[in-house]
A and B are shown apart, each in its own frame.
Chain A
Amino acid sequence: MAEMEVKESKKKGPGVKKSKKHSTRVDLTPMVDLGFLLITFFIFTTTVQQPTAMNLNMPKDTKDQKNDMKVKESGSLTLMLGKGNVIYYYYGSDPTKMQTTGYKDVRNIILKKKQSTPAADLFIIIKPDKDATYKNAVDILDEMDINDIGKYAMVDPTPDEYSLIQKTEQAGGVK
């Protein structure tokens, strides 16, 4: 076994130099700085955003014409979603009277219709055509939520309406 030298501090002979005792305290300020810096960094880089989900309920497909829902002509507004974020809309059942709008202005049109129509009659028909994007469909469904529209349906445009849209698009040079 190695010998252990036991020193007794009190008994120091003359001539033994007193070793300078350093303080054992470390300045922790930089460490605190670092700690908080890391916390701030992690908090800022973390994305809090969680994906949300929108409910979508679709009706059952019925082949039977009798089961189709009847909509009052005076209360219906048809929105057709076309190519290049354009909306074509018409009131009632005459597609030839359709007008053009965009996603920013569609809210006013919906609101105007909502205010001028008895709540029970109001029905919005959404017809996304082949060139509409998924974003367009979600945006317009969202618009239904925003404007608190109770009754709306998402259906395909009829061939007549589709050709009408295409004619308008060709005339307007929309690609």
Chain B
Amino acid sequence: MARAKIKRGSTSVDMTPMCDVAFLLLTFFILAAQFKPTEAVNVTPPSSVSNKVAPEKNFLNVTITKDNKVFLIMDPAIKADVLDELGKETNMSFSAQDKKNFVNSDFVGVPFDQLKQFIALRPEQVKAEAASLPGIPVDSTNNQLKTWISAAINARMGETLNFLIKGDDATKYPTFKAVVDAFKANDQYKYNLVTNSKAIPEGSELYKKNHGKPE
């Protein structure tokens, strides 16, 4: 009797397609990943249950460090116009080189009288000095943040600017209030506070509201 011959397949599988897939995925993830923009100043924001993503266009970000210094970061797209407007409002003149420097700079962290030297610094130099920067004055006698905000509003007349306030956990409340007052002086009352997200506590009123009340 003839025995049925079991055909023995090779146990080694062709790995080429799998290899292709692996590297395709790898390439995709690397290319799709967005690099975190270098943070000008190191700030740990508090967390909130809000799940709204911070706006990334037309923004004016006021960052308050833990030493209560105020820095201003803005959308690179509006920078050139803001500087023009600031020149008009403060009677300062900026050369073409100053403007170029300003657009390339990451943030503003000095009073007006040091602005030109500050924006001429290279990023490495700024980083080295970050801890000793004086910040933008926000006290009631010399509120330069107010001028910056008004310059930004006038530079983008008719468009909505997103005002972000990003504070550190350890920032003292009076500094935050001074920043809010600077906005208020320009008739701006809506802000976004940049926070880290955290989960809504289970069983809380908001949780019930979002999930429908159990009957």
Contact = CB atoms under 8 A, between A and B. Distances in A.
Interface of A: 27-29, 31-32, 35-36, 38-39, 42-43, 46-47, 49-61, 81, 107, 111, 114, 128-139, 141-142, 145-148, 156
A51 B184 contact: no
Interface string B189-215: 111111111001100111101000000
Given A39-B25, A58-B184, A146-B200, A134 B205 contact: no
Interface residue SS majority, chain B: mixed
B24 to A, nearest CB: 9
B15 A32 contact: yes
B26 A51 contact: no
B206 A133 contact: no
A6 B207 CA distance: 81
B55 A53 contact: yes
Contacts of A47: 36
Contacts of A36: 22
Contacts of B194: 51-53
Most B CB atoms within 10 A — which of A52, A53, A54, A141?
Answer: A53
B71 interface: no
A42 B189 CA distance: 41
Given A28-B15, A111-B205, A58 B52 contact: no
Nearest to B188: A58
Contact of B205 (A56, A57, A58, A146): A146
A55 B50 contact: yes
Given A53-B55, A60-B189, A138-B193, A38 B26 contact: yes
A134 B201 contact: no
A132 B197 CA distance: 22
Interface in B12-45: 12, 14-16, 18-19, 22-23, 25-26, 29-30, 33, 36, 45
Contacts of A134: 46, 64, 167-173, 175-176
A35 B23 contact: yes
A148 B209 CA distance: 8
B192 A55 contact: yes
Given A52-B52, A58-B191, A146-B200, 9 more contacts: A35-B19, A35-B26, A39-B25, A43-B29, A51-B194, A55-B192, A56-B190, A56-B193, A131-B173
A28 B189 contact: no
A13 B139 CA distance: 100
13 contacts: A52-B196, A53-B54, A53-B192, A56-B165, A61-B184, A81-B173, A114-B205, A129-B173, A136-B173, A137-B176, A138-B46, A146-B204, A146-B206
Contacts of B51: 52
B9 interface: no
A51 B174 CA distance: 24
Contacts of B209: 148
A52 B54 contact: yes
Contacts of A147: 204-206
Given A28-B19, A138-B48, A58 B197 contact: no
Contact of B52 (A27, A53, A133): A53
Contact of A32 (B12, B19, B171, B201): B19
